[in-house]
Amino acid sequence: MKLCVFGSSGRMGRLLREEAGNSVMACYDLIPPGTKADVPLPEEVDVVLDFSLPAAWKDLDRLLSPSSAALVTGTTGLGPREKEMLAVWASARAVFVSSNMSIGIYVLGKLLAYAAEMLAGDFDLEIVECHHSGKVDSPSGTALTLAGIWENCGGGNRRMLGRSGAAGPRSPEETGIHSLRGGDVAGDHQLHLLGKGERLLLSHSATGRRTFAAGALKAAEYVNGKAPGIYTMDDLMRRNGS
Ligand SMILES: NC(=O)c1ccc[n+]([C@@H]2O[C@H](COP(=O)([O-])OP(=O)(O)OC[C@H]3O[C@@H](n4cnc5c(N)ncnc54)[C@H](O)[C@@H]3O)[C@@H](O)[C@H]2O)c1
């Protein structure tokens, strides 16, 4: 499998280059040794790995448009425009999308869905996430994904991003999301399920970024040669028999 790393000089890009070694045929970044996107994607590239930022996607689009290479993207902070771009790209190639490539977070999402079946309506969910000081988007894509799981399972669907001042009593419709930033934290997510007389805490800590890089490379193996469409961690984990 021949790979291209887009965002190759970033924290994730550097790790991916290290982990994937000789499989990496092309690197794109505004920062050297990455090449700028005005150099076309080499034809032999099977899968493009993207860990950049939404503002970089105009350049990613220039690279992808003339090619049918598959895409694995872990970029977060996606808005409606980026979601449209994903749909267009997926009409011509396999596109794997996940705001978090770690198996632990995948399992955390499943545990949350399981808990929601029994607790939604009676318990409140407050999500606390903590990331390194260089992270540009907040809340994290993972926190938003987890909030979406809670909402889809009947939990509160009014997102409250932080609390300050006299906001009044908490409504049962709310899902609180709180972002901490500092140091070199790779990524912590805590799900506080708060009931009357008891509370439950589900928690995940990434102890380093290697877990995300390894997950992205597994995703690349999975989508390589697949039919056009959107693929997610659910597809990857089903393949693994989970
Ligand atoms: N899905 C996951 O598992 C996962 C894990 C970690 C990080 N992330 C996400 O991945 C993204 C990157 O994270 P990071 O910590 O590596 O960030 P980073 O800021 O260290 O790296 C981003 C890189 O993109 C480059 N870039 C910017 N504009 C570009 C352009 N036009 N063309 C090419 N490259 C361009 C930057 O120069 C930088 O080197 C973020 O959105 C982050 O939230 C996802």
Give mean pLDDT, residues 170-185: 97
138 lines ligand 1 (CB under 6 A): no
Indicate the average pLDDT of the chain: 96
| Nearest ligand 1 atom to alpha carbon 53 | 41
User: Considering only CA atoms, which residue is closest to atom 43 of ligand 1?
Assistant: 76
Q: What pLDDT, on the 0 to 100 scale, is given for residue 241?
A: 56
- Give me ligand 1 centre to Cα 169, in Å: 38
Give mean pLDDT, residues 192-196: 98
Give pLDDT tens digits for 143-166: 999 999 999 999 999 999 999 887
213 has pLDDT over 80: yes
Q: What pLDDT, on the 0 to 100 scale, is given for residue 165?
A: 86
Out of 110, 135, 189, 204, pick the active-site residue.
135
User: Considering only CA atoms, which residue is closest to atom 3 of ligand 1?
Assistant: 100
Question: What pTM was computed for the model?
Answer: 0.94
Distance CA 30, CA 119 (A): 47
Mutate to test the pocket of ligand 1, among 4, 36, 52, 108 (most ligand atoms within 8 A of CB): 52
Domains along the chain with CATH numbers: 3-97+209-239 (3.40.50.720), 103-206 (3.30.360.10)
Q: What pLDDT, on the 0 to 100 scale, is given for residue 77?
A: 94
Q: What pLDDT, on the 0 to 100 scale, is given for residue 240?
A: 63
35 lines ligand 1 (CB under 6 A): no
Give pLDDT tens digits for 226-237: 999 999 999 999
Percent of the chain, pLDDT > 70?
99
242 has pLDDT over 90: no
Mutate to test the pocket of ligand 1, among 53, 138, 179 (most ligand atoms within 8 A of CB): 53
Q: What pLDDT, on the 0 to 100 scale, is given for residue 237?
A: 93
Out of 131, 178, 189, 204, pick the active-site residue.
131
Give pLDDT tens digits for 78-114: 999 999 999 999 999 999 999 999 999 999 999 999 9
- Give me ligand 1 centre to Cα 201, in Å: 30
